Amino acid sequence: MVFSSRFTTLLSGCLLFAANVLQTAAFDNSRNDNLAVYYGQNSYGATHSDQGGWQKNLANYCQDDTINVFPIAFLHVFFSTGGLPAIDLANTCSANVQGVFPGTALPKCQFLASDIKACQAKGKIITLSLGGATGGAYFTGDAQARTFAETVWNLFLGGSSSTRPFGDAVLDGVDLDIEGGGTNGYAAFVTRIRELSNGASKKYYVTAAPQCPYPDAYLGAVLNAVAFDAVYVQYNNWCGLQNYNNANAWNFGQWDTWAKTVAVNKNVKVYIGAPASPTAAGSGYVDAATLGQIARETRSKYSSFGGVMLWDASQAYGNGRFDVQIKNALTGGNTTPTTTTSKPATTTPGSGSCGGVSAWSATAIYVGGNQASYNGHLWTAKWWTQGDVPGGSADVWTDNGVCKSKAVATANVPAAATPANVPAITTAAAAAKATDSVPKPSASPSDNSTSDAKDGAKNVRSSRFFKL
């Protein structure tokens, strides 16, 4: 029939259009206008007391096309309780607030699975950054490194485990931000990750974040030994952005030469890594116009240029959407920040048990997974919130339904929701300062058995560029 033929043609056209849209939206590592922005350490919160600018849930930063890559920072201790690693995502998810899987130091961050999947569905890749500035990231040898790669694969990538911190979300690769602890084993670690991902149903990426002095003190050897997809060079030392016009300091040319003549993967992309605000690092910050100009000029000279990396999402958003300004400089476009329209909360009658759950308090700080009762319903916080009424337009609470239990606690704020127990805004955090020094590898690795419980409230550590 004519109608059937026309309908079939129309349907085919729609499917072809949808396929093209999906293909366009997918992450393309070969491009030279990508933007990678670290997430997880609430860097803004370490230097600002206004909680409105603190790190939001991951999905909040995926509402437009600005950012292409989110390395989640950090897996900061390789071998902690039970021989498994430890991660800490500041005010988003930590062992102190969300609790841990029994016998481990791995926090229960499964609520982030939906955020990760939502960002991936929009063509962004989400990777796991290992290291930071703790010194708790090292291997005794290649055998240990290979075994650890299998652990990471099972906990965060394409494997399986009963203690996966992000639930059934499958991350898109790993990032090495190694700032201490030694240099042994990393080539074996990357090699094993590559072996495990070989033949997988999707692409897994391996990136690194070396300091700009070439070669990097900790990553130099591994960068020459195994294939990387991209390197996010931290330009905040003497060779940093502030010295762009000094031919004896600015050294992107050295990294371009490495990419083309030394790197195992001759298609590796080199990013300019920059602080996203003056408070994101001790030095190296330049305004968006200057960084945009530097990026464009560098791209015109060096074919290995892949884009810009920023530290971090909270700082970029707190600095007038610094990320949008840089993306526009890279693309020559006019990206408009997306404003999310909140959806009404859905209600499941009779599904919530409010026994022992405190009533919602406008002055309390809640993070993802905290619960409160309000207007006869049980509510679960999706992410960090304070003063946002459950069921209100902010859409930060999930309605778990009408309370089945009449034993509702009084308005006392639960310990897990008090400001004193929210990580990342501690005295140590506020005092954390990035320095310009480039430390030499230590002769003997530091104690690597430290757990979050041993650290106590010290959930944010200083770094040469990145902060944990």
Q: Indicate which residues carry an active-site annotation.
A: 179
CB 214 within 8 A of CB 251: yes
260 burial (CB, 10 Å; 0-12 / 13-18 / 19+) is middle
What's the CA angle centered on 236, arms 90 and 332, to 5 degrees? 90
The DSSP letter of residue 289 is H
Ranges of H-type helices in 242-370: 252-257, 288-301, 313-318, 322-331
CA distance linking residue 104 with residue 60, whole number of Å: 29
CA distance linking residue 326 with residue 230, whole number of Å: 19
Q: Which residues are CB-contacts of 177 (< 8 A; sequence separation ≥ 6)?
A: 71, 73, 74, 129, 130, 131, 132, 208, 209, 466
Ranges of H-type helices in 110-269: 113-121, 142-156, 186-197, 220-225, 252-257
SS3 of residue 174 by DSSP:
strand
- List the end-to-end C-alpha distance of the chain, in Å, as a whole number: 65
Give the tokens for residue 62: 């995926």
SS3 of residue 426 by DSSP:
coil
E strand or H helix at 274, and its extent? Answer: strand 269-275
CA dihedral 253, 255, 261, 266 (to 10 degrees): -120
Other CB atoms within 10 A of residue 168 CB: 10
What's the CA angle centered on 323, arms 318 and 326, to 5 degrees? 135
Q: Which residue has the tokens 């690194």?
A: 208
Q: Is the dihedral of CA 295, 38, 392, 366 positive or negative?
A: negative
Q: Is the dihedral of CA 366, 38, 219, 241 positive or negative?
A: negative
Q: Say how many CA atoms lie within 13 Å of 161 toward its Cβ.
A: 22
The DSSP letter of residue 111 is G
